[in-house]
Amino acid sequence: MHGLAFDVAHLLAGSLVLVSFMMLYQDRLYALLNTYALHAVVLSLSVGWQAYINAAPHLYITASIALLFKAIIIPLALHRMIVRLGIHREIETVASIGPTMLAGIGLVGLSLAVMLRVTADADLVAREDIAFALSVVLLGLLIMVTRRNAVSQVVGFMSLENGLVLAATGAKGMPLVVEISVAFSVLIAFIVIGIFLFRIRERFDTVDVQALDRFRGERR
């Protein structure tokens, strides 16, 4: 593996883990969304770099999906949703930041210990990517379990999914990567639309929206 090519791939994948950590301690919804957008930008750079060094042009599609859809459209849509629902207050986190960060460090240590050991003979870039990807996935899960708010849970899930895309593009020559990233985008779009259409507002706001619904004559 060419020295510089590997170093850049390593840098980008490592930055993704770092941005995941940044998401872990954001306690305001807007800041969380902005950090997520940064996460998606880093992912798209990383995937774009993979496409370049492996001469795999189809990965550029995945990279542009990450950039357009995940870094721009979804954060904007969620932004508007937050404004409309008027929930731009602090996020209630279950645990405080200190233990959460410690748990995050533990998870990253775990994933490096597991993945680097089992992939000893794999391709160098793939090996780094899969270890970092598992870290991002586990950190995404941690974000999901430490939040009670539907929007931040979705953001956690989306960061988790970014980790999966990193893993899929890191595995050399993996087929169906583009299809899978499209399938995931559809899933995410569904979730985001779902938040709005399903009107799961009791999760957003402790003000008794349920009572409002009943009052409006919505049949229960």
Partner 1 sequence: MNLLLSHNLALVLAIPAGAAVILAALPGYRLSARLNVLASFLTFLAALSLFVRHPPPDSYFLIDDLNIVFIVLSTFVGFTTSVFSASYIGHELETGRLTPTYLRFYHAMYQVMMFGMNLALVVNNIGLMWVAIELATLATVLMVGIYRTHEALEAAWKYFILASVGIAFALFGTILVYMSAQPVVGEGLQGMTWTVLVTRVSAFDPALLNVAFIFLFLGYGTKVGLAPLHAWLPDAHAEGPTPISAVLSGLLLNVALYAILRFKMLMSLNSHAMAPGPLMAAIGLVSLVFAAFMLYRRRDIKRLFAYSSIEHMGIIVFAFGMGGPLANFAGLLQMTMHSLTKSAIFFTVGHIAQVKGTQKIAEIRGLTETHPQLGWALVLGVLAIAGMPPLGIFMSEFLVVSSTFARAPLLAIVLVFGLLVAFGALLLRVQGFAFGEPAGSTAPVRASYVPIFAHLALVIVAGVFLPRLLVTWFQHVARMLG
Residues that bind partner 1 (CB under 8 A): 114-115, 117-122, 126, 130, 133-134, 137, 141, 144, 150, 153, 157, 160-161, 164, 167-168, 171-176, 179-180, 183, 186-187, 190-191, 194, 198-200, 202-203, 210, 213, 219-220
Minimum separation from the CB atom of position 6 to partner 1 (A):
17
Query: Coil, strand or helix: which one is 218?
Result: coil
Minimum separation from the CB atom of position 9 to partner 1 (A):
16
Q: Which residues contact 165 (CB under 8 A, 6 or more apart)?
A: 43, 47, 62, 66, 177, 180, 181, 184
Tell me 2's DSSP state: -
Task: For partner 1, give the closer residue by CB, 35 or 147.
Answer: 147
φ and ψ at residue 89, rounded to 5 degrees: -100, -165
Query: Coil, strand or helix: which one is 3?
Result: helix
Length of the chain in residues, anyone? 220
Task: For partner 1, give the closer residue by CB, 97 or 187.
Answer: 187
Minimum separation from the CB atom of position 114 to partner 1 (A):
6
First to last CA, the chain: 62
Task: For partner 1, give the closer residue by CB, 4 or 197.
Answer: 197
Task: For partner 1, give the closer residue by CB, 79 or 203.
Answer: 203
Task: For partner 1, give the closer residue by CB, 5 or 180.
Answer: 180
Minimum separation from the CB atom of position 93 to partner 1 (A):
17
Query: Coil, strand or helix: which one is 207?
Result: coil
Distance CA 195, CA 217 (A): 21
